[in-house]
Structure 1
Amino acid sequence: MAQITIEVNGRPYAVGCEDGQEAHLIELAKMFDHQVRQVGQDMGQLGDTRLFLMGALLLADELADARARLAANQAELARLQSERGRVEIRAVQALDTAAKRIEKLASEEA
């Protein structure tokens, strides 16, 4: 298990993570640090615990919004795929009808 030091609101924290996940954890810590610093600027210094709580709640809110958008996009994708299937069926039927008409015309001329 890897051990790294991240910085949040100007303070270092030692954190363990899976080997190979260090860069990802550092990026996550930067996102959290940015959120905590923004809360600190907006609300003033509340103490680390409250800053961290507010930062975590704001990130959780963003995550909930992203999940809702993802669910809506997945539903729209399913709807479009279903519609595409119906359009393909209608196209096949139209081609089949056209082929039958062509065959009929060809047999009438012969």
Structure 2
Amino acid sequence: MPQIVVTIDGKTYRMACAEGEEQHLETLAADVDGKIAELRGSFGQIGDLRLTVMAAIMATDQLHEARRRLQDLEARADADMTSRAAGEASEGAARDEYARSLEETAASIERISAKLAGAQ
């Protein structure tokens, strides 16, 4: 199992990860480091633990917002699929009605043609 060393808030941490996940873990650690640096810039020296907790809360808030947006998009996609299916069913019914009307018209024309042919 690969191990990498990441730096967060000036401290180094050795971490294990799955094969091929090294870059991803480094990117995540850099994101956490950036959040802590952002908070430190806003609030100054308020304690490492408090900064870490605040960064975790910020990350969790972003995750919740992303999940909410995903659920909204999934609901919208489901509604679109339902609407599309209803539209297709309606189109099918309209085509059936048009075909039925066309058949009735053709039958009427045939009856009229037969009457005209018999009258001559």
Fold shared per TM-score above 0.5: yes
Match of 2:103 in 1: 103
What is the CA-CA distance between 1:44 and the residue it aligns to? 0.8
For residue 91 of structure 1, what is the amino acid of its counterpart?
Answer: E
Task: Quote the offset at 1:24 in angstroms.
Answer: 0.8
Letter in 1 for 2:67: R
The residue identity in structure 2 corresponding to 1:79 is: A
Residue 5 of structure 1: CA displacement? Answer: 0.6
- Equivalent residue for 1:13? 13
When the two chains are superposed, the root-mean-square deviation of aligned CA atoms in Å is 1.1
Corresponding position: 1:45 with 2:61: no
Superposition pairs for residues 8-87 of structure 1, below 5 Å? Answer: 8-87=8-87
Letter in 2 for 1:89: A
Q: Displacement, 1:88?
A: 0.8
SS of 1:4's equivalent?
Answer: strand
Q: Which has the larger radius of gyration?
A: 2
Partner of 1:61, secondary structure, is: helix
CA distance in 2, matches of 1:6, 1:93: 63
- How far apart are the structure 2 equivalents of 1:6 and 1:47? 20
- Greater relative contact order structure (CA < 8 Å, 6+ sep): 1
After the TM superposition, which segments of 4 or more aligned residues of structure 1 sit over 6 Å from their partners? none
Structure 2 residue runs of 5 or longer lacking an equivalent are 111-120
Shift in Å, 1:30: 1.4
User: What TM-score, normalized by structure 2, do the two folds share?
Assistant: 0.86
Instruction: Give the Cα separation in 2 of the matches to 1:27 and 1:84.
Output: 41
Letter paired with 1:30: A
- Partner AA of 2:90 in structure 1: R
Q: Give the whole-Å Cα distance in 2 for the aligned partners of 1:30 and 1:93.
A: 58
SS of 1:94's equivalent in the other structure is helix
Report the TM-score when normalising by structure 1: 0.93
Quote the sequence identity (%): 32
Partner of 2:20, secondary structure, is: coil
